[in-house]
Amino acid sequence: MQKKTLKSITIALTAGLLLSGCMGGGNAEEKVHEAFGKIQSAESGFSKEQSTLADLEKKENGLYNQIIQLDMKDYAAITKLSDQALDNLSLRRKEIDKENKMFGKSQKEFENLKENKPQMEDKKIKKNTERVFTLMKDRYMSHSRLVQVYKESLSQDETLYRMLKKKDLKAEELQSQIQKNNGLYDQVKQENENFNKLTADFNNSRDDLLKAIESKSN
């Protein structure tokens, strides 16, 4: 089989929330801190899911690289490896669904906080709180876009692996499909980088908020 370059599928590099420290403060401040704890708890299995997804992506890359080293005289081996890649892809779908469900729980905790947002009297704390809320909202929206394009890439990966099992597969047909896959991988990478930046900004802004609350209570 003529070798066609497929970009790395390994894109499970999404950042999670960092744990915040304990703090004192008034009722309003304590309510916000408690809500952050619930949000973090909802995402507690995030790192594990990401690790599993990364391992599956790495395995799938290996299977693809084995396939493209073979000639059509090795059709049985190509079919076997393609079927293994399809099985692996099904596991990736399950993992991304688990992660998405986890984020759904996290977002529900955030919506509960937003609906019952306590009133902050201190202007600096109030401003910091609004920024944290905005960043968290943007983060959930970003993750939704990331999952959407990731699932689109899964669908195109499935098309590719089924295509590789065709005995009469043309080089042009394969190259066209690989271009579609690579384009989606680029989109996933871009969405992933945006999500990671929002997560880092949220972690920093939340810590600034909690420091301001702690300073006020001392």
The residue behind tokens 């790495």 is: 58
pLDDT band at 2 (very low <50, low <70, confident <90, very high): very low
The range of the structural domain enclosing residue 106 comes to: 27-217
Number of domains comprising the chain = 1
In the chain, which ranges are continuous DSSP H helix?
27-42, 46-67, 75-115, 123-163, 171-217
Q: What is the mean pLDDT of residues 166-183?
A: 91
d(CA 209, CA 9): 37
Q: Is residue 86 part of a domain?
A: yes
Query: Which residue type sits at 29?
Result: E
59 within domain boundaries: yes
Asked if pLDDT for residue 19 goes beyond 50, the answer is no
Is 19 within a domain? no
Looking at residues 177-192, what average pLDDT do you find?
A: 92
pLDDT at 28: 66
Condensed to tens digits (0 to 9), the pLDDT of residues 20-53 reads 444 444 566 677 777 778 888 888 877 788 889 8
Cα separation, 22 vs 210, in Å, equals: 9
- What count of other Cβ atoms lies within 10 Å of the Cβ of residue 73? 9
16 lies in a domain?
no
Q: CA-CA distance, 120 to 112, in Å (whole number)?
A: 17
pLDDT of residue 39: 83
pLDDT band (50, 70, 90) for residue 5: low
Q: Residue 34's pLDDT is what?
A: 79
Q: Give the pLDDT confidence of 88-141 residue by residue, as tens digits.
A: 999 999 999 998 998 899 899 888 888 877 677 778 888 888 898 899 999 999
Asked whether residue 203 carries a pLDDT value surpassing 90, the answer given is: no
| 78 has a pLDDT exceeding 80 | yes
Answer whether residue 60 is part of any domain.
Answer: yes
Name 12's Cβ contacts closer than 8 Å, sequence gap at least 6.
Answer: 50, 51, 53, 54, 57
Question: Could you tell me the CATH number of the domain that includes residue 145?
Answer: 1.20.120.570
Does the residue 10 lie in any domain?
Answer: no
The pTM (predicted TM-score) of the whole model is 0.85
Structure-token match 């084995």, residue found: 66
- Region 159-176 average pLDDT: 92
pLDDT at residue 84 in the model: 98
**Maximum CA extent, the chain:** 76
Domain presence at residue 20 = no
Q: Is residue 204 part of a domain?
A: yes
